[in-house]
């Protein structure tokens, strides 16, 4: 599996390029943490996570995948660019709290990344111009 980084991601200028870089194409219903869900729930409520999360949101301008024009109004998440495991959380792997491996997303974009469903992501409105005769 390829290790994804913020440094690589920010070289991609469009939302679609960034989405394609991040998409995981997982399967709905496949257990990730199962009975160990308490491990990630404890982590996401920790003071360390809250601090890093706030830094990432600020860095990304509260924009979906850090793209200006995709400002997030609700359901903002900070997504790990690489899947997190219970073992990584239990062992306190440093990369889990490193902004180099995190990006701001909406809940819909987050689900689209995990399940490979680009139809879930928000699209910007089509810009209309004088003389347009075609309705979107």
pLDDT tens sequence across 92-134: 889 999 999 999 999 999 989 988 777 777 666 667 778 777 6
Using one digit for the tens of pLDDT, what is the confidence trace for 49-101?
A: 999 999 999 999 999 999 998 999 999 999 999 988 888 888 888 999 999 99
Going by C-alpha positions, the residue among 74, 128, 69, 66 that lies closest to residue 106 is: 74
Q: Confidence band (pLDDT; 50, 70, 90) for 15?
A: very high
pLDDT at 28 over 90: no
- Ramachandran category for residue 16: left, alpha or beta (phi over 0 → left; psi -120 to 50 → alpha): alpha
Q: Decide which of 120 and 14 is more confident.
A: 14
How many Cα atoms occupy the beta-carbon half-sphere of 23 within 13 Å? 15
Distance of alpha carbon 134 from alpha carbon 98, whole angstroms = 47
Q: Smallest Cα–Cα separation from 15: which of 60, 66, 72, 55?
A: 66
């Amino acid at each position: 599996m390829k290790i994804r980084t913020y440094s690589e991601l920010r070289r991609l200028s469009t939302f679609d390029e960034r989405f394609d870089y991040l998409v995981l194409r997982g399967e709905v219903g496949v257990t990730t943490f199962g009975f160990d869900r308490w491990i990630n729930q404890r982590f996401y409520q920790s003071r360390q996570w809250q601090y890093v999360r706030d830094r990432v949101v600020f860095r990304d301008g509260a924009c979906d995948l850090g793209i200006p024009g995709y400002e997030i109004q609700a359901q903002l998440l900070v997504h790990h660019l690489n899947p997190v495991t219970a073992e990584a959380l239990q062992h306190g792997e440093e990369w889990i709290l490193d902004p180099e491996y995190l990006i701001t997303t909406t809940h819909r974009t987050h689900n689209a990344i995990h399940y490979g469903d680009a139809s879930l992501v928000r699209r910007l409105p089509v810009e209309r111009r004088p003389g347009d005769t075609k309705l979107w």
